[in-house]
Structures are given as structure tokens and as C-alpha cells.
Amino acid sequence: MRASAEPSPRWAEASPIADLLVRSAVEHPDRDALVFPTHRVTYVELLEGARRVARGLLGLGARPGEHVALLAPNGVEFVEAFFAISMIGGVVVPLNARHRAEELGHVIDDGEVVALLTTDAEGQHSDLAGALRQGLPSLAAAADPIALALPEARRLRAAVLLAGESSPGFLPRSRFDALVDSVAADEPDTLRARVRLRDVGAIMYTSGTTAHPKGCVLTHEAMTRGPVERARHRFGVGDDGHDVTWSPGPLFHIGTLAPFLGVIGSAGTFVTDVHFEPTRALHLLVREGVTVAFPWFPALVQPLLDHPEFDPAALAELRSLLLIGPSVLLERVQALLPECELVAACGMTEAAGIYAVSDPDDDVDLRSRAQGRACPGMEIRIVDVDFGQDVGPGVIGEILLRGYSVMEGYHRAPEKTAEALDADGWLHTGDLYSFTPEGQVAFHGRLKDMLKVGGENVAAVEIESFVARHPAVEWVEVVGRPDERLDEVPVAFVEVKAGHTVTEAELLEFCTGRIARYKVPRAVVFLTASEWPRSATKINKNELRARVRALAEAPA
């Protein structure tokens, strides 16, 4: 079975990344573009800052087509630099703040980065400059931060602080600002006018939980077309055309970066923070009258729902909330916010974010068990995991994607690109989905999360969704444990809700007789909220599998 978007009277509206900011600054110069707990920035202020950073980059010698890495917390510095790199026709390489030092070093070298931008402001939440020095051991002793020649980063020429004045190996912000006057004021806009939609705009590296991160090569069109279309026509869309959008995730992650670009491209207001803290987040949501929210994951939603200050009435202006999670959580959120559309969607870095989204008139039941239809311009297939043939409704298979937002390939990885993109342009995602009778796609986990229990294919997410319905379960993840007789069996990692207690025997009894016997977990491992191994936004199942193996191999 295949699916594509329904016919629509709307037309595509794509532009180079930096043009999103320029247009909104011209049309709404004094409107708030960015809002943080302690300060806010208008569109005209943001554009002026981006132009200054662009001139500084040109003063460093950066040129169109070259790759510039950016490691910074959510803040003005990140946003100004992101648009500045795009403005001069450069390629943005956002760095994941949760990557290990070795991974950061790999991305900078593999990404052929010529300039590295970061922050080291007083009181900063994380020591990003220190992490970069660990990943690039020669950096700290470099004689000149804008004339680098590091053996571990062969193309890197400059390392710069966007905030901060003293950090070994980095050019202070004041010296970077001094480069601005050496470049004509109109040079960034001259270069911006030469950027093409199918030029590479960014290389987004995946989290790299199993090996070195892979760089997804994304064009300007891939990065801007879908987010702007959804911001203008799908999410929120108040009577005055102005939405206030909150997203607490890191801007280096496509799940936050894509909607952020949509907000800027639709002249909305983007509300965020340097890190997520439930009390600050609640105060920000209420104070700013947020109309669209992108919490995405349960780890960000549950602390808000459980907070003593949570008041649904205070969020009366909220019209759209995007959330991926088990049906029991989605049903709880919808019950608390009945006037807010709980939007279901699915996406991935290789597709520049969202590629399918729920319909506005879907009922609660459908939105709790499916993630929508293909976005305009995208095609979807679901194929048998063994033979590659299209499957019908209700049959679980691998989801394949094709369309304008699909990556060009993995940077400097032709073999991995060939594995992911076939000759007809279909992206083989490694994600398991099925088509519902309504023609929507329903997520069943990763292909690598498919358990083989005694010859039966079992999607881990199916077991997780059932266990999550126990009233004492806050969160659950299921992985496979090797088994001599059945090949592998399910093991559940469980976090218990505050104020509740439950035993392994009680959870197993809860499952017995209500789901197939081979799907009942063989063991339960209890974790506290702080014990979950995480990547940037998700729980790292590879680490859970390693723990299961360690427990199985431990002497009795």
C-alpha cells in the first residue's frame, strides 16, 4: 500500500533559510521573534545581529559552500549564527551538546568544518568550550585561534566564542566583532541572493548511539518548505495569523529546529529556554499566551502535568500541541485540554523533520493510535521487512519515504547512503509502521526494536503501550533478551509513578491473559527518573540492551 497527500488548493512556499528571517523582519520588524524567561528579541534586532555575525564570518575567511559548526545552548547566539551561516551561503553543522567528546571531534572532522562557533558565557549551564577541547586535544595549545592547523580536524581554520572573552583555543567575542568592520555591510545580502533552494543548507548529524554519528545532508528547500507550510496552515493559525510557539527542546535537534524555522518563516514568536525546567516552563507558557506547543516527548510533558502549579485553565489560548507517546498519556492530555488539538505526527532527521501529520478533524481515538497522513509533497510506502513488497492495512512493515524533504544522502558515506536511498529515491527508514483502515500510519517501533520471540515478530512498542496502562507505571521501555529456546524474550524497564508502588509479580500478572503469552515480559527492571540512559531527546535502548545482557551474564 502507498499513500501521498490529499489534493490541496495551497501552493508550495519554499525559500533559502536566511530569507525566512529577512522577510519577517521586513514585514514585522517590531514583533517579538524570540522570547526567553528573562529577555526577548524583535525581528529587526535578530536580523541585525545575524548580519553582524555573517560579516564576522566573512572576515574570518569563511566562504559560500563551506561548512561551519555551531555548538550553543538555545539563545540569541545560536539563532544569529544559524542564520548568519545560511546568509553567506555556508552549510550549518549543528553540534549535539550531548555527544561525547570523541563524537564531537568526529563530527567536526567528518563534517569538513572550517569554522567552529560556540559560547562560554559566565554562568553557562554547560561547559561547551571544554567539551570541544576534549574532542580536539590540540585546540587548547593552538597559537592562533583563527589560523588553526589541527591534526584531528584537518579542515578547521577558526574557533570562535559567540559569547565569552576567555577560553583557551577560542577567539574572544570582542575580537570576532572587530572583524565585522572589515567587511562591507551589504556583502551578506549579496551572497544571500545567490543561494539556491537545492543548495545544501545543513548537515544534521544523527545521535550516534551505536557508532559514529552520520551526517544527513539537507537542502534549503528540505529545511524550510514543510515547516513554513505547517506553521502557516496547519498548527495554531490564529485569527490574526500570528502564533506564539513554545518548544523546550534543543535547537540542534531537528524536532525543535524544524518548527523553529516554520515560526520564523511565518513571522510567529518562538518561546524557549536554555534548558527545560518544569516551573520555568509553566510560567513561560502562561505568561506568553502560547498557542502552539512542541513538547514532542513524554519526558517533557509528564513533569508539566504532574506539577503542583499546572492549571489547564491558564492554558486556554493553546490551540495545538504535538506529542508522541503511549495512548494512555495522549488520552490524559486530551482530557485535561479538551479545547486543544492534540496533534500526532512522525518525522526523522533524514526527512528534515515531520513527514506525516494527523488531520484536524481526527477524533481522539484515531489520534491516539495513528500518526497521520503524508504531508504535502511526500509519498509513503510500507513494505514487508523480508521481501520488500507493499503490504496492506494492518500489516506491520518498514516505512519508506520519498519527496522534497528527504536528505540528499549521508555526508562522506556512500555505502551508508546506498543502503538508505534506493535507485528510485525511496528512503528506507528502519522504522516499523502499518496503515490503519483510515489510511493513516501507525508507529510500531524501530526495525531493530522488533523482537523475534519463538518465531513470532513482536513490536516492542506494542508491549510498552499495554504495560503503560497500569496505574502505577510512569514510563516503560521494552527490549529483547537473548534466549536459547525462543531466540529472544521481552524484558521491561519501568519507572513507577510518584506515590505508587508495584512489584514485578504484579506487573506480570497485569499482562498475563490480556496479551499473548509470548508478549508478556519475562522480567521487569525498575529505574528511577534519573537512571534512564538518554540521548538528546530519547531513551537510549542500546544501553538498556547492554544492561540486559550484563544481567543475563552475571553469575547467579
Which tens digits make up the pLDDT trace of 265-313?
999 999 999 999 999 999 999 999 999 999 988 878 989 999 999 999 9
Whether 260 and 342 map to the same domain: the answer is: yes
Whether 469 and 529 map to the same domain: the answer is: yes
Number of domains, the chain: 3
Q: Residue 76 has what pLDDT?
A: 98
Q: Is 127 contained in some domain?
A: yes
**What value does the mean pLDDT take over residues 350-362?**
96
Whether 386 and 458 map to the same domain: the answer is: no
Confidence check: pLDDT of 205 > 50: yes
Q: Is 207 contained in some domain?
A: no
- Residue 489 β-bridge partners: 481
Nearest C-alpha neighbor of 243 from the set 320, 315, 323: 320
Q: Residue 549 is placed in which grid cell? A: 545482557
- What's the whole-model pTM score? 0.87
- What is the Cα–Cα distance from 245 to 225, expressed in whole angstroms? 18
Whether 188 and 149 map to the same domain: the answer is: yes
DSSP letters, 75-141, are SHHHHHHHHHHHHTT-EEEEPPTTS-HHHHHHHHHHTTEEEEEEE--TT-SS-HHHHHHHHSTTSTT
Whether 72 and 130 map to the same domain: the answer is: yes
Per-residue confidence band for 195, with pLDDT thresholds at 50, 70 and 90: very high
Q: Residue 364 has what pLDDT?
A: 79
Query: Which CATH number do you get for residue 496?
Result: 3.30.300.30
Q: Is 180 contained in some domain?
A: yes
Residue identified by cell 497485569 is 510
**What value does the mean pLDDT take over residues 429-439?**
95
- What is the Cα–Cα distance from 267 to 269, expressed in whole angstroms? 7
Q: Is 162 contained in some domain?
A: yes
Q: Is 430 contained in some domain?
A: yes
To the nearest 10°, the Cα dihedral for 551, 554, 555, 556?
-10
Which of 394, 414, 446 represents a domain boundary (last residue)?
446
- The whole-chain average pLDDT of the chain stands at 93
Whether 299 and 159 map to the same domain: the answer is: no
Q: Residue 239 has what pLDDT?
A: 65
Q: Residue 209 has what pLDDT?
A: 46
Whether 364 and 381 map to the same domain: the answer is: yes
Whether 221 and 254 map to the same domain: the answer is: yes
Which of 164, 195, 226 represents a domain boundary (last residue)?
195
Write the pLDDT tens digit of every residue in 219-233.
999 999 999 999 999
Whether 355 and 496 map to the same domain: the answer is: no
DSSP letters, 494-556, are EEEPTT----HHHHHHHHBTTB-GGGS-SEEEE--GGGS-B-SSSB-HHHHHHHHHHHHHS--
* Buried b / exposed e along 510-541 (16+ C-beta atoms within 10 A): bbeeebeeebbbeebbebeeeebbebbbbbbb
Q: Is 492 contained in some domain?
A: yes
Per-residue confidence band for 487, with pLDDT thresholds at 50, 70 and 90: confident
**What value does the mean pLDDT take over residues 107-133?**
95
Query: Which CATH number do you get for residue 410?
Result: 3.40.50.12780
Write the pLDDT tens digit of every residue in 321-331.
998 877 778 88
Q: Is 409 contained in some domain?
A: yes
The residue range of the domain holding 394 is 2-10+216-446
Which of 446, 469, 495 represents a domain boundary (last residue)?
446
Q: How large a percentage of the chain has pLDDT more than 90? A: 77
Sheet containing 441-446: order of strands:
2-4, 378-383, 397-403, 427-435, 441-446
Whether 147 and 35 map to the same domain: the answer is: yes
Provide the residue count of the chain: 556
- What is the Cα–Cα distance from 259 to 206, expressed in whole angstroms? 18
Whether 423 and 461 map to the same domain: the answer is: no
To the nearest 10°, the Cα dihedral for 96, 100, 101, 102?
-110
**Residue 107 to residues 104, 152, 168, 207, 350, Cα–Cα distance (Å):** 5, 11, 21, 11, 16
Q: Is 264 contained in some domain?
A: yes
Query: Which CATH number do you get for residue 161?
Result: 3.40.50.980
Residue identified by cell 569538513 is 112
Whether 354 and 494 map to the same domain: the answer is: no
